[in-house]
Amino acid sequence: MQQTVMTSDPPRETRTPRSVLVVDDSRLQRRILSAMLKRWGFDVIEASTGAEALDLCKKSRPEFIFSDWMMPELNGPDFCRAFRKLYPNDYSYFILLTSKSEKNDIANGLDSGADDFLTKPVNAPELRARITAGERTLSMQSELQHQNALIQDTLYELKGLYAAINSDLIEAQKLQQSLIREHERQIGPFHITQFVKSSGHVGGDLVGFFEAGPSYLGVFGVDVSGHGISSALFTARVAGYFSSGSVEQNLALETSADGIPCPRAPEDVMADLNHQVLHDMETDFYFTMVLADLNLETGLLRFAQAGHPHPVLQSVGNTFLHLGTGGMPVGLIDDIEFERTEHVMQPGDRLFIVSDGVTECPAPSGVLLDQEGFEHMLGPLVNKHAQDVIDALFSGLETYSKLSVFPDDVSIIMVEHIGAATD
């Protein structure tokens, strides 16, 4: 019989002691295998039956298991199955020892959960090769568990950060909504209704109004480029220029010769805003806008348009006018001039200032609503109450787009002349 000579130096991969369980009903076979493994630096425990081995595994999980196939009561494959159920989330390398050589038998053994097999009598170089393969598997499994643990920790941290961010966004949403102090109000012969719906928690759209002295009403619609928090912050800054009816706090107001607050020319206000954005704010943001003032006595509407969709005037007769000349957005080009548009509103007229989230609302086919589609929505609403009009428009956008969350912020402000006719 040829004798196998074993060297005393273990492979590099096996120098770190690992726990090994040797299971065999043959005392001699256990001792031979255990002696090899101990010489290579493993901590070895022995069991004579599968049932005894399973009891030992319940107390402590070995990293390597060498189990005989044919054993009384509980054979090797059945022991392997029972062992895998004990530790579904931890891995040990399981090698079956067998004299079986049929491919079907070997396949059945591997199906039981075994990683490998060795044919009896065990050949030392082959054993060491299988151990080396097992070491690589266990090392990779250990690294994988470590990485999974790191991923789980990271996910936990991310969940915490997301929860904090979400909480901040909810508060930011409340603060942004507070910029619209009143959704509905009557000032003199004019009734104002306004609505903003951001595509996310916060957005870059804003509408508003302010009293410009005793005889005028100021109205504006703003759409800042982009979405999200940065756009919302910039929107809040723009809103600060028109947040009050005080001359000192509102860029659109000045003091008349009589010492009474009155509106500045809207085109001049636009020019000042454009200069401040380009020279003082140090930002890449720009915005479209309509800024208007209404004479409460005469119904004279004066406004400047800066890239915002054209204001739409709906008359009592359900006819429509597109007002304005377009213009460039604020914050793109220095030293540009903005044009003033004037129109006298009659009792029953409704003025709509909307963002491009309305006119560019997409249908599932990709076709945009545009101004014609917007007017088509307005037509049947001519006799409805102001708030009902806003609700119907929003519902109409949902129906048109088949979306509950729009791809862009949506803002609408409606000014209705409800007073008596003027001469």
Whether 167 maps to a domain, the answer reads no
Do residues 234 and 325 both lie within one domain?
yes
Whether 155 maps to a domain, the answer reads no
Instruction: Give CA–CA dist 420/30, Å, rounded.
Output: 108
> pLDDT for 77-131, tens place per residue?
999 999 999 998 888 999 999 876 666 667 777 888 898 888 888 888 899 998 8
Do residues 139 and 183 both lie within one domain?
no
Do residues 185 and 235 both lie within one domain?
yes
CATH number for 49: 3.40.50.2300
CATH number for 322: 3.60.40.10
Of 293, 221, 306, nearest in space to 264 by CA = 293
Residue 397 identity: L
Half-sphere exposure (CA, 13 Å, Cβ side) for 287? Answer: 33
Residue 251 identity: L
The torsion defined by the Cα of 273, 292, 374 and 229, in degrees rounded to 10, comes to 40
Do residues 363 and 228 both lie within one domain?
yes
Number of H helices and E strands in the chain, helices first, is: 10, 18
Do residues 65 and 191 both lie within one domain?
no
- Predicted local distance difference test score (pLDDT) of residue 186: 93
Residue 254 identity: E
> pLDDT for 246-290, tens place per residue?
788 899 999 988 889 999 999 999 999 999 999 888 788 899 999
- Predicted local distance difference test score (pLDDT) of residue 9: 44
Burial of 250 (0-12, 13-18, 19+ CB in 10 A): buried
Strands (E), 212-308: 216-224, 253-255, 261-263, 287-295, 300-306
Buried b (16+ CB within 10 A) or exposed e, 391-416: eebbebbeebbeeeebebbbbbbbbb
- Predicted local distance difference test score (pLDDT) of residue 15: 47
* Residue-number span of the structural domain to which 255 is assigned: 179-417
For residue 283 the two structure tokens come to: 């930002």
Mean pLDDT of the chain: 87
Do residues 233 and 86 both lie within one domain?
no
> What does the DSSP 8-state code read for residue 14?
G
Whether 236 maps to a domain, the answer reads yes
Do residues 247 and 305 both lie within one domain?
yes
Whether 169 maps to a domain, the answer reads no
How many distinct structural domains can be found in the chain?
2
Instruction: Give CA–CA dist 29/187, Å, rounded.
Output: 101
Q: Which of 124, 147, 170 is the last residue of a domain?
A: 147
Yes or no: say if 222 and 288 are a contact pair by the CB < 8 Å rule. yes
- Predicted local distance difference test score (pLDDT) of residue 101: 63
Whether 382 maps to a domain, the answer reads yes
Do residues 198 and 93 both lie within one domain?
no
Whether 269 maps to a domain, the answer reads yes
Do residues 308 and 406 both lie within one domain?
yes
Half-sphere exposure (CA, 13 Å, Cβ side) for 318? Answer: 9
Q: Give pTM, 2 decimals.
A: 0.65
Instruction: Give CA–CA dist 217/219, Å, rounded.
Output: 7
Whether 223 maps to a domain, the answer reads yes
Q: Which of 107, 129, 147 is the last residue of a domain?
A: 147
Helix (H, G, I), strand (E, B) or coil at 164: helix
Do residues 64 and 125 both lie within one domain?
yes
Do residues 353 and 408 both lie within one domain?
yes
Do residues 142 and 194 both lie within one domain?
no
Whether 314 maps to a domain, the answer reads yes
Q: Which of 103, 129, 147 is the last residue of a domain?
A: 147
- Predicted local distance difference test score (pLDDT) of residue 173: 64
Residues of the chain with pLDDT under 50: 1-15, 421-423
